[in-house]
Amino acid sequence: MIPIRFENIFDTKFLSKYKEFVLYGKEWNGEKYRFKIRNSEVKFDKSGDKSLNDVITWIKENHSNETVKEFFKFVDKNIETILVGNFNEIKELARRFNEISINEEIKKICREIFNYNKLYNKREYSYFIGNILNVFYKKIKVCPYCNRQYIDVFNDTERTFDFEHHFHKSKYWIFSISLANLLPSCKSCNQRKGTIDVLGEEFLSPYEDIRVSFSIECNGGKIGNTNSLDAIESSIEKIIVEQAEGSNIEKLYLKELYQLHKDIVAEIELKKRAFPEIRKVFDEKAFDSLEGFEEIYRLIFANYIPTSEEDSLIFLKRPLSKLTFDIYRELNNTP
């Protein structure tokens, strides 16, 4: 998994626009997130006269059920965190949410007001969706959970990825439209993660600074020394996939999936051997710098290299980039 920082994805201008739109019902290119209250029932309705904030205030003050009123005092107090808080803030809130008593009436209202199916439905809110997609897509082009699949955006509404709810919306419906709870993910990672309760299963979000690392185990302890890709590939016993904490590798079957890429590792070994020769083609001096090294690396391995420990977003530009980088480093240090 490739770590991402929430602040690197959403700037404060975008966060405040999201808040104004969702919480205060402000227009976003002709679209509004609004509700109607009829006979004490809250209904999602784009042409309604109530904002989410109005609805929360109304329930807190007028609802006939005391448990509902109490719950909405909690919602009111934390609504900004719920919508635009960073990941650690909503994780803390999710723990507290688990301890609160909830009744069916609360669930029913919350599913209506934190309405993922409407708000993230391209037919309902195409322009809004387009904006969210573009914010992500400018920075993330590969699934952050597996680093194996491209995630694509064709235009304002068409995409090849799912929004993965870290805190699943079936249990944590209060976070179903929280920005920090939504990450683009390839369809297979989203499906495998499914509805598991992350807090119970210690499944980590890419917003938590946990990275996956790769190395190899070879027959006889050494990678094949021939120039045959097939022979090198069969000398690789397995690709080791590790993550210091969390159950992500196991839940997403990353260990099993990465065994399919022994051929890529064999190619890395051969390309690594060609590195010094290819370097000679260029002006030696130009490639003494880090930028120069990056360029040769990119040319040979068709992938990006981070310039600092912090620079993990670079791994989200091309698939298998973390595997390539880790294996290149490992093979390069092997005599």
Q: Which residues bind Zn ion (CB under 5 A)?
A: 143, 145-146, 186, 189
What is the closest distance, in whole angstroms, from the C-beta atom of residue 145 to Zn ion in the complex?
Answer: 4
Q: Which is nearer to Zn ion, 113 or 143 (CB)?
A: 143
Contact 158, 151 (CB under 8 A): no
Residue with tokens 């387009």: 130
Instruction: Report the nearest approach of Zn ion to the CB of residue 216 (Å).
Output: 21
Residue with structure tokens 């090198």? 232
| For Zn ion, the closer CB: 15 or 186 | 186
Dist CA 234 CA 224 (whole Å): 8
| Tokens linked to 44 | 């999602």
Min. distance of Cβ 24 from Zn ion in angstroms?
Answer: 35
Q: Which is nearer to Zn ion, 253 or 282 (CB)?
A: 253
What is the closest distance, in whole angstroms, from the C-beta atom of residue 188 to Zn ion in the complex?
A: 6
Nearer to Zn ion, 186 or 266 (CB): 186
Q: Decide whether 186 or 241 has the Cβ nearer to Zn ion.
A: 186
Residue 120 token pair? 């993230």
Please report how close the Cβ of residue 327 comes to Zn ion at its closest, in angstroms: 19
Least distance (Å) between residue 149 CB and Zn ion: 5
Distance, in Å, from the CA atom of 235 to the CA atom of 229, rounded to the nearest integer, reads 10
Q: For Zn ion, which is the closer residue by CB, 37 or 257?
A: 257
Measured from the CB atom, the residue of 113 and 186 that comes closer to Zn ion is 186
Minimum Å gap between C-beta 164 and Zn ion is 9
